Amino acid sequence: MKKIRKALISVSNKNNLKKLLSTLSKYKIEFISSGGTFKEIKKLKFNCTEISKYTGSPEILGGRVKTLHPKIYGGILNKRNNKSHKKDLLKNNFSEIDLVIANFYPFEKILTTTNNHSKIIENIDIGGPTMVRAAAKNYYDVTVITNPNQYDDLIKELNLYKGRTSFNFREKLSEEAFSETAYYDSIISKYFNKFTKKKFPKKKTIPMNLIEILRYGENPHQESAIYSTQKSLNLKQIHGKKLSYNNYNDIFSALIISKSLPKNTGTVIVKHTNPCGVSALRDQLNSYQSALACDPISAYGAIVSCNYRIKKKLAIELNKIFLEVVIANGFEKDALKILKRKKKLRLIDANNLNTSNLSNFTSNFNSILIQSPDLNKFTIKDLKVVSKKKPTSDQLNNLIFAFNVCRYVKSNAIVIANNKSTLGIGSGQPSRLDSCKIAIEKMNKFQPDSFMNSVAASDAFFPFVDGIETLVQSGISAIIQPYGSIKDKEIIKFANQTNTVLVFSKTRHFRH
Amino acid sequence: MKKIRKALISVSNKNNLKKLLSTLSKYKIEFISSGGTFKEIKKLKFNCTEISKYTGSPEILGGRVKTLHPKIYGGILNKRNNKSHKKDLLKNNFSEIDLVIANFYPFEKILTTTNNHSKIIENIDIGGPTMVRAAAKNYYDVTVITNPNQYDDLIKELNLYKGRTSFNFREKLSEEAFSETAYYDSIISKYFNKFTKKKFPKKKTIPMNLIEILRYGENPHQESAIYSTQKSLNLKQIHGKKLSYNNYNDIFSALIISKSLPKNTGTVIVKHTNPCGVSALRDQLNSYQSALACDPISAYGAIVSCNYRIKKKLAIELNKIFLEVVIANGFEKDALKILKRKKKLRLIDANNLNTSNLSNFTSNFNSILIQSPDLNKFTIKDLKVVSKKKPTSDQLNNLIFAFNVCRYVKSNAIVIANNKSTLGIGSGQPSRLDSCKIAIEKMNKFQPDSFMNSVAASDAFFPFVDGIETLVQSGISAIIQPYGSIKDKEIIKFANQTNTVLVFSKTRHFRH
């Protein structure tokens, strides 16, 4: 237990001070402060010593140097049970500072309001983090408050222990203090990396905000939480059971496809992070039904992502099967009412989610693989027709659709499509030929009459003729694939022999 | 261009100072320093003013407060083109400090040498990061050096510009300085989180060290790098082409399985992050050949991970097909010689890789999903026989082997095994039934005579009887799966009707 006698207060966020100061006063705690905080404390009618008076050193450089003084740091950093420290204090006429209440210049916030580099730099707090770090280091004796949301806990603690704080409380606050300073400098560092276009600095820290602790991870014996590099996720859950780790994982797998589809168009059905049906048809009911037709069995318990605002007609249709999550760019009022009849069904509004500023990373053992995302939409200018037979406009559109879906299916990936809807999806196979067979089997099982004019896409080149051969034998009339195999010529020859349209894409799109 | 007149030097790591100080002296730069750095500078026979003399304020608290003084921070933080700042300096008799050379108490290093909390805390540097942050904030006018590996660049710069530094140079150093302070506090924060058992703090930063910038990411149009939460990867490449993003990704997918196998036993073959063959046979040649037999076609261009030290006999065998990477717990000398005949083949020694202290995270849009890893080995105590027919000891061993592999195959995952080797692996399907079919097809294609006494594992429960029915029809005699389906009773009934061994595992093992 440590009695608090003197508090140093320097806060950028001046909310909720009054109640705290009242409690501190109750326990006869003296205040030291400066600048705006000093004025605020006086305005609230509490006694307060100005720092420059306390240290005998004037505030200089327009406030850039206020608290950086040995009297302040001697007061914070001295070990109370250390005789030599005590002697140093006496000799220099310094006294103990037992409580530091500080929060920093709003560097992160300023980034959202200006691009002016000088203004941004001016918001790098020097004094604040130093006070907090010193107090947090010396938490055996000193209490440190770094966020207004800790005020209530401090008030409770002081009332409970009559102006004292407990060791455990100070330790917790110290942990939170270093979490604040680490986060603060990580945001500054991230800003500088971006400003100087440094993509891969030698030392990198990723600052993240806890969104929620999840019930468990991919499996019940794994602990889990979801964080964001922003303050919130930009996903709004408006109904249903709590989202699980696997829900989130599937939601993101679905949204990366939805956001790649034409604006306000397209339906994606995802199960185990792979799509089991995608359609980019304009009419929302048609689009959903076509996506569902690709694999109506796997769709049981799936996640449906609608890249549009859901209307009543579709809501009725969606309610006919068991779904875990429905995502949309908003819901019409009457649609929402219908969907909400299913108490557990999770409804997500993803209208505000954007795909800017992304960087992907994944951890393995103690390593982290970081890469820029694979987001550029694939269009007609990214492909080259290499067969004698040229694609019809319909085929071309379906080839582009199929390839855009294929890049978001786990490799090796094959997508068969027609009428801007998938007919078969082969995912996650070590062998490309096997992915072809899986896609064909889906088509033959659920939509056996649709192969006419259907097209296929492959996320990477065919290493042999066998894959393309299998597709053509099943009735596929046009194929798109990246180039680069030593068998490219043979493959083109085979396409010409079988009167198949063959299109090469310039880019490969592995995704694992 | 800024002329440097005065340098503040305070370094914990005192290496390579001499050459730097000589250059600084050449340009008549004055030194201010304290403590151990002061002594070192004097020992190297350079003039130096002690900080306490400079500020007129004594060093107190056994060195805890040395540099935290307005004369120091006025000197660093003043804007040279600001008249009011100039006036403040004159009035207080402060002068400009143009160069800060500092590195911090070795907090990260101390963690590797002691568990003593007080000793660890004593290594939280307060003065150092403050000087560096102040100098980095004021980089328009001040040069900041935070690492001995920047000394040569500074020497070059000073020689090039005759005692001056350029704006771009100072900006780059400032960026690196904030990267250092962010990293430093992130390590402290991580330590405190661990110490106070805080698993998911509100603000979290992940400190990482750049291992290498990769040629590209999963695809050539994606930029990429690999980082580590440690100083190195604990993987040693001893031969071959540079590792790519996809190599690393596959290597980790292989090693997570290898490290789960019995000590110094077992071979894993991976393609596109999924195993296409695993064997835990004792003899290394047998083990490799059995793993290969599972899908010899997919093994082309694969990654082979050997959980043992590779001998000559196996090296000869490995050289018979094209492989991207061979991983092992070391290589016998003559084996290495044989493998090195393939100039491009990447050889990795993973003997030092351990699976402790892991936490998995993956980014999606701007969110990060974090979870504890799924590492506990599955053993006999984690299962329950629920069928009337009891497994033989052989079946039981194969069931445990199959389930241990299955948990590292992408969901939905089915693994068929016999003789401690996989016969068929079905991965990455939205439908569990499809994964069954893929696994069976592999077995029937490559080892059609092996179904006798073969067993199957499923990473999650069968939602219907159809999956287990398909497996039994293909000749599988024993099945292991987690429990929890509403059809569990029906599935047990089916097992009893068909005289199949059915074992329930207590845990589910999704992996996406």
Of B177, B149, B140, B365, the residue nearest A192 (C-alpha): B177
Cβ <8 Å between B512 and A207: no
Measure B448 CA to nearest chain A CA, in Å. 18
Q: Lowest-confidence range among A473-482, B107-116, B348-357?
A: B348-357
Mean pLDDT of the B486-491 span: 95
Could you write out the three-class secondary structure of A86-134? HHHHHHHCCCCCCEEEEECCCHHHHHHHCCCHHHHHHCCCCHHHHHHHH
Please name the fold of domain A235-349. Cytidine Deaminase; domain 2 (3.40.140)
Q: To the nearest whole number, what is the mean pLDDT of chain B?
A: 95
Measure A244 CA to nearest chain B CA, in Å. 11
Q: To the nearest whole number, what is the mean pLDDT of chain A?
A: 95
Cβ <8 Å between A271 and B507: no
Look up A239 and say whether it is catalytic. Answer: no
pLDDT above 80: residue A358 = no
pLDDT at position A35: 87
Measure B17 CA to nearest chain A CA, in Å. 22
Instruction: Identify each DSSP E strand in A246-288 by its residue range.
Output: 267-271, 274-279
pLDDT above 90: residue A131 = yes
Which of A64, A220, A364 is facing B252, going by the closest CB pair? A364
Q: Nearest-CA residue of chain B relative to A428?
A: B428
Mean pLDDT of the A26-37 span: 94
Domain locations along chain A: 2-195, 235-349, 380-505
Within 8 A by CB and 6+ apart from A259, the residues are A307, A353, A355
Cβ <8 Å between B178 and A188: yes
pLDDT above 70: residue A173 = yes
pLDDT at position A356: 74
Mean pLDDT of the B238-267 span: 95
Rounded distance between C-alpha atoms, residue A455 and residue A453, angstroms: 7
Cα dist from A454 to A418, A422, A500, whole Å: 5, 9, 11
Interface test with B, best of A55, A57, A61 (most B CBs within 10 A): A61
Mean pLDDT of the A94-123 span: 96
Give start and end residues of each alpha helix (H) in A345-416: 393-406
Rounded distance between C-alpha atoms, residue B174 and residue B180, angstroms: 10
pLDDT at position B256: 93
Measure B135 CA to nearest chain A CA, in Å. 10
Within 8 A by CB and 6+ apart from A381, the residues are none
Helix, strand, coil share of chain A (percent; to 5) = 40, 20, 40
Query: Residue A6: exposed, middle, or buried by beta-carbon count in 10 A (0-12, 13-18, 19+)?
Result: middle
ipTM of the complex, rounded to two decimals: 0.93
Chain A partners of B234 at a C-beta cutoff of 8 Å?
365-366
Rounded distance between C-alpha atoms, residue B123 and residue B188, angstroms: 10
Cβ <8 Å between A373 and B222: yes
Cβ <8 Å between B209 and A202: yes
Within 8 A by CB and 6+ apart from B243, the residues are B214, B237, B251, B325, B346
Measure B197 CA to nearest chain A CA, in Å. 10
Please name the fold of domain B234-349. Cytidine Deaminase; domain 2 (3.40.140)
Cβ <8 Å between A370 and B224: yes
Q: What is the pLDDT of residues B49-93, one digit of tens each?
A: 999 999 998 888 888 888 999 999 999 999 999 999 999 999 999
Chain centroid to CA B393: how far?
A: 38
Interface test with B, best of A167, A215, A229, A272 (most B CBs within 10 A): A272
Chain B partners of A121 at a C-beta cutoff of 8 Å?
137
Q: What is the pLDDT of residues B146-201, one digit of tens each?
A: 999 999 999 999 999 999 999 999 999 999 999 999 999 999 999 999 999 999 99
pLDDT above 70: residue A357 = no
Whole-structure pTM value: 0.94
pLDDT above 90: residue B510 = yes
Which tokens belong to A502? 């063959």
Say if A2-195 and A380-505 have the same CATH topology: no
Confidence band for B205, pLDDT divided at 50, 70 and 90: very high
Q: What is the pLDDT of residues B393-448, one digit of tens each?
A: 999 999 999 999 999 999 999 999 999 999 999 999 999 999 999 999 999 999 98
pLDDT above 80: residue A388 = yes
Cα dist from B241 to A319, A484, B215, B237, B254, whole Å: 54, 19, 12, 9, 19
Cβ <8 Å between B430 and A274: yes
Cβ <8 Å between A365 and B412: no
pLDDT at position A377: 78
Cβ <8 Å between B367 and A252: yes
Q: What is the pLDDT of residues A280-307, one digit of tens each?
A: 999 999 999 999 999 999 999 999 999 9
**High-pLDDT (> 70) share of chain A, %:** 100
Chain A partners of B362 at a C-beta cutoff of 8 Å?
249, 361-363
DSSP-derived pairing of the beta strands B346-349 and B323-328: parallel
Which architecture does CATH list for B380-505? 3-Layer(aba) Sandwich (3.40)
CB A442 within 8 Å of CB A423: yes
Between chain A and chain B, how many beta carbons pairs sit less than 8 Å apart? 448
Q: What is the CATH number of domain B2-195?
A: 3.40.50.1380
Q: What is the pLDDT of residues A220-278, one digit of tens each?
A: 999 999 999 999 998 999 999 999 999 999 999 999 999 999 999 999 999 999 999 99
- Active-site pick, B6, B39, B86, B137: B137
- Active-site pick, B172, B204, B272, B487: B272
Which tokens belong to B99? 């160069």
Measure B367 CA to nearest chain A CA, in Å. 4
Of B346, B351, B347, B289, the residue nearest B320 (C-alpha): B289
Q: Nearest-CA residue of chain B relative to A228?
A: B367
E strand or H helix at B165:
strand B164-165
Chain B partners of A252 at a C-beta cutoff of 8 Å?
364-365, 367
Of B172, B132, B221, B225, the residue nearest A193 (C-alpha): B172
For A241-268, b/e burial (b = at least 16 CB within 10 A) is: eebbbbbbbbbbbbbbbbbbbeeebbbb
Which of A226, A255, A428 is facing B369, going by the closest CB pair? A226
pLDDT at position B357: 67
Look up B137 and say whether it is catalytic. Answer: yes
